[in-house]
Amino acid sequence: MKPIAIGADDAAWEFRSIITNHLDSLNITWVDFSSDKQPDNRYYPDIADAVAMAIKEDKFARGILICGTGIGMSIVANKVPGIRAAQCHDTFSAERARKSNNAQIITLGARVIGPELAKKIIDAWLNSEFEGGGSSVKVERIDYYQNQHLAN
């Protein structure tokens, strides 16, 4: 598996450590795009865009973005054509984000969920793969509408 891209803003630096320690315990390699790792101390939109672009460029297969709520990171990552980011605060949503929507990025809210739940959410997401089947047509339809809007 390619390394995981991870990014956190100032609201989530401590939470990020919990996630990266968990990834380490699973022997998963990760690369940190977080704002405290950047020379210009970027804002969450910059971090989300950098992670999403790195995934679009196939440098990483998946990404984990963390801010206070997970909302802002999700909004920004989904602006990158071809990227599907899902804000998840439970294991079922994390699993379905991969299986049904082929989400390459998961976003989490450091102020919304606790550390143990976050680990379970990450596990559910990492252990799920896109099922294809009937979901393929729906994901293709997402891409269709994205392309329609980009053309206008």
Reported residue count of the chain is 152
From 47, 50, 67, 94, the catalytic residue: 67
pLDDT at 38: 77
The answer regarding whether domain 4-151 maps to CATH 3.40.1400.10 reads: yes
> What is the side-by-side order of every strand in the sheet holding 105-109?
30-32, 4-8, 62-67, 105-109, 85-87
Active site residue 67: yes
| CB < 8 Å & 24+ apart, contacts of 40-46 | 43/9, 44/9, 44/72, 44/73, 44/76, 45/72, 45/76
Cα gap 24→112, rounded to integer Å? 23
Residue that has been written with the tokens 């022997």 in this structure: 27
Q: Which of 12, 26, 142 is nearest to 64 (CA)?
A: 12
pLDDT at 36: 86
Token digits of residue 77: 């990552």
Instruction: Report the C-alpha dihedral over residues 26, 28, 32, 34, rounded to 10 degrees.
Output: -40
Q: What is the pLDDT along the chain (152 residues), one digit of tens a residue?
A: 789 999 999 999 999 999 999 999 999 999 999 988 877 778 999 999 999 999 999 999 999 999 999 999 999 999 999 999 999 999 999 999 999 999 999 999 999 999 999 999 999 999 999 998 888 999 999 989 998 888 88
Which amino acid, 9? Answer: D
pTM value? 0.94
pLDDT at 35: 86
Residue 95: partners with Cβ closer than 8 Å, 6 or more residues away: 124, 125, 128
